[in-house]
């Protein structure tokens, strides 16, 4: 229930609304004017009885009610029969319509006395019959003679009364004879009129509403076409299709910010005295030969290497050797007297000590270009260049040619990526250049969609989706979903895969069905309608008026008396 303004309440009646719901809405309305809107099918419109109940509810609750019935001639007719003022437009009623309903309501609530028709007067009149005399109450009264004390006077009155009675009887006989003549003349005419009225009713009253349920079914196909750049039109019989290939090249450059960290500096150097001794003594013990690059480890865990090979005799006298730190850095600068061990030798046998301070170690941090910097910049640059190249290819689609989107391929030639400094080089930022090459395949689309729709329809007919023996004409939906891809793409062969699907439904010619039904007896027409069943729900036929004799029902021939509605099955 919707309050349109301060004067009008609009009650929209849905197909599932019950009579009690609408009655409650009328009673609960705070406005005097009520607009009942029937925008869709409702069982309340099938019978005038329901509508009469709504009108009486409105009158009892002092409401002024108008029915807005859209695209439902039967509902309008039933509403008029119930006495409800109706409109068939989607706009609000004009003020004149409300004023007319106010006058009609006044007449309903204060009816004028009805005049008794002549026919009813004839039925109610007493004392007239054909072929016999009827004595009226006046005659009976006249025949009653009150007693009198004077016999002669009484006899005279009696004779006078008989004369008057005889005269009246004669007059009545004359009236009866005239009545017979009138009835003999008028009777056949009345019968003719009644027969004519019955015939007109028989011809004009019948109205048939038919509802045919339809459903859509999906049909699909899959075809592999061979692409051929040398043909000029599509060969659907041999599944060959004209194709062409196009390419686009886009070169782009940008500046790359270096984020890598590296260090430069000097390695510390110095002199270490190395001594060699054996627990059992050094008699007849050969010299210990240490090759160059022998690793020495300080007590603090710093690694150094011998600059050259040395030979150390077994004695307590150390042999001095030059060493260099493994890495750059000031942390390798060690003071004189730092103790060392020699890798792979026990310190109890071979040991060293810095004879002088180890110095010269330095370390400085700087920024270098790393591969991750290049890769990140390449992704952004490739994305931009690829979008531009592929857009250019898509723009070439048009006219007679259509691009196969799945055929678009983009890549960066290996030798096209160039940086201002090599990876690992010292820099804060540098330039990056690359090139993207995109390729795509196009197919000739002229006449393709139309033929594809025909192939889908033929596929549906071949599969007999609606399980009918007759040659049923099908209608394909406007929306055909198709997916065109390149199934194979080599230097020698290109295969184009086409997958398509759409929904189909029977094409129902309402005019042809109505022409088949016109003038048919009811049962014969129902047999015809049983051939037009296109879903699990059977076709429905409703005859009106419902009190029309069952044995006389037929499908009328007058224009508009048969109404066919096509409805999607749930």
pLDDT confidence band for 552 (50 / 70 / 90): confident
- The tens digit of pLDDT for each residue in 209-263 reads 999 888 888 888 888 999 888 888 888 888 899 988 889 988 889 999 999 999 9
Distance CA 320, CA 68 (A): 118
On the question of pLDDT at 494 being above 60, the answer is yes
Task: Quickly count: other Cβ atoms within 10 Å of residue 438's Cβ.
Answer: 22
In the CATH hierarchy, which top-level class contains the domain 266-362?
Answer: mainly beta
CA contacts within 13 A on the Cβ side of 2: 7
| Average pLDDT score over residue span 383-391 | 89
What per-residue confidence (pLDDT) applies to 121? 42
Whole-model pTM over 0.75: no
Query: Distances in Å between the alpha carbon of 246 and those of 14, 416, 486?
Result: 58, 21, 15
First to last CA, the chain: 27
Q: What is the pLDDT of residue 328?
A: 95
Q: What is the DSSP letter of 343?
A: T
Does the structure show a pLDDT above 60 at 135? no
Two structure tokens written together for 123: 């039925």
| Band (469; pLDDT cuts 50, 70, 90) | low
**Alpha carbon distance 39, 10 (integer Å):** 12
Q: Is the pLDDT of residue 338 over 70?
A: yes
If you average pLDDT over residues 494-505, what whole number do you get?
A: 87
Higher-confidence residue of 264 and 189: namely: 264
**Band of pLDDT at residue 127, cut at 50, 70 and 90:** very low
Q: What is the assigned CATH class of domain 243-259+368-444?
A: alpha beta
SS3 21: helix
For 546, list phi and psi in degrees, rounded to 5: -70, -25
Contacts of 490 (CB under 8 A, 6+ apart): none
What average pLDDT does range 495-503 have in this prediction? 89
Structure tokens at 459: 């596929």
In which element (H, E) is residue 553 found?
none
In whole angstroms, give the CA distance from residue 311 to residue 506.
106
pLDDT at 362: 96
| Structure confidence at residue 302 as a pLDDT band (50, 70, 90) | very high
Residue 304 phi, psi (nearest 5) = -135, 165
Compute the average pLDDT of residues 332-359.
94
Angle at 471 between CA 465 and CA 476, to 5 degrees: 55
Whose tokens are 């459903």? That residue is 215
Pick the closest to residue 342 from 359, 318, 358 (CA basis).
318
Q: What's the pLDDT at 181? A: 66
Split at pLDDT 50, 70, 90, the class of 324 is very high
More confident residue, 342 or 147: 342
- Give DSSP secondary structure letters for 155-199: HHHHHHHHHHHHHHHHHHHHHHHHHHHHHHHHHHHHHHHHHHHHH
What CATH number should be reported for the domain whose range is 2-109?
Answer: 3.30.750
* Both tokens assigned to 277: 């001794």
Q: How far apart are CA 197 and CA 225, in angstroms?
A: 72
13 phi and psi angles, rounded to 5 deg: -95, 115
Q: Mean pLDDT over all residues of the chain?
A: 83
* Most confident among 64-73, 188-197, 323-332, 393-402 (mean pLDDT): 323-332
* pLDDT of residue 148 exceeding 90: no
Quote the pLDDT of residue 269. Answer: 97
> What is the rounded CA–CA span in Å between residue 193 and residue 212?
40
Count Cβ atoms below 10 Å from residue 266 Cβ, excluding itself: 17
Which of the 8 DSSP states describes residue 138? H
* 123, pLDDT greater than 50: no
More confident position, 433 or 199: 433
């Amino acid at each position: 229930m919707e309050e349109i303004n301060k004067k009008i309440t609009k009650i929209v009646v849905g197909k599932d609304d019950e009579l009690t719901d609408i009655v409650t809405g009328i009673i609960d309305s705070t406005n005097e004017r009520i607009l009942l809107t029937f925008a869709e099918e409702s069982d309340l419109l099938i019978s005038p009885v329901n509508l009469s109940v709504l009108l009486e509810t409105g009158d009892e609750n002092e409401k002024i009610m108008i029915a807005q019935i859209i695209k439902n001639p039967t509902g309008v007719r039933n509403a008029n029969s119930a006495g409800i003022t109706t409109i068939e437009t989607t706009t609000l009623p004009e003020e004149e319509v409300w004023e007319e309903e106010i006058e009609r309501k006044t007449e309903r609530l204060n009816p004028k006395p009805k005049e008794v028709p002549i026919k009813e007067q004839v039925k109610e009149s007493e004392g007239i019959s054909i072929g016999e005399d009827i004595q009226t109450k006046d005659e009976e009264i006249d025949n009653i003679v009150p007693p009198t004390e004077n016999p002669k006077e009484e006899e005279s009155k009696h004779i006078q009364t008989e004369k008057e009675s005889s005269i009246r009887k004669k007059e009545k006989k004359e009236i009866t004879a005239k009545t017979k003549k009138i009835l003999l003349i008028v009777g056949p005419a009345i019968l003719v009129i009644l027969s004519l009225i019955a015939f007109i009713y028989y011809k004009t009253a019948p109205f048939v509403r038919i509802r045919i349920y339809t459903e859509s079914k999906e049909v699909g196909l899959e075809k592999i076409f061979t692409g051929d750049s040398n043909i000029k039109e599509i060969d659907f019989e041999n599944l060959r299709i004209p194709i062409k290939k196009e390419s686009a090249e886009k070169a782009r450059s940008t500046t790359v910010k270096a984020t890598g960290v590296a260090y430069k500096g000097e390695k510390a150097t110095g002199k270490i005295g190395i001594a060699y001794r054996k627990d059992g003594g050094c008699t007849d013990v050969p010299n210990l030969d240490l090759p160059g690059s022998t690793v020495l480890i300080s007590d603090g865990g710093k690694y150094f290497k011998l600059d050259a090979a040395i030979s150390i005799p077994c004695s307590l006298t150390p042999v001095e050797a030059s060493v260099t730190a493994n890495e750059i850095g000031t942390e390798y600068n060690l003071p004189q007297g730092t103790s060392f061990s020699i890798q792979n030798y026990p310190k109890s046998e071979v040991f060293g000590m810095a004879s002088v301070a180890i110095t010269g170690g330095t370390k400085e941090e700087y920024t270098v270009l790393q591969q991750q910097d290049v890769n990140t910049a390449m992704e952004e640059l490739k994305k931009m260049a690829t979008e531009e190249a592929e857009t250019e290819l898509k723009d070439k689609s048009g006219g007679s040619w259509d691009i196969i989107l799945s055929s678009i391929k983009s890549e960066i030639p290996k030798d096209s990526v160039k940086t201002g400094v090599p990876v690992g080089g010292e820099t804060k930022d540098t330039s990056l250049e690359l090139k993207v090459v995109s390729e795509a395949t196009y197919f000739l689309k002229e006449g393709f969609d139309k033929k594809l729709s025909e192939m889908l329809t033929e596929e549906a007919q071949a599969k007999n989706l609606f399980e009918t023996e007759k040659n049923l004409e099908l209608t394909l939906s406007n929306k055909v979903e198709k997916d065109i891809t390149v199934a194979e793409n080599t230097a020698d062969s290109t295969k184009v895969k086409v997958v398509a699907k759409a929904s189909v439904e029977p094409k129902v010619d309402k005019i042809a069905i109505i022409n088949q039904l016109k003038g048919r007896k009811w049962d014969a027409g129902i047999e015809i309608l049983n051939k037009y069943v296109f879903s699990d729900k059977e076709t429905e036929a409703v005859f009106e008026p419902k009190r029309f004799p069952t044995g006389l029902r037929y499908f009328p021939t007058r224009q508009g008396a048969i109404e066919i509605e096509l409805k999607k099955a749930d």
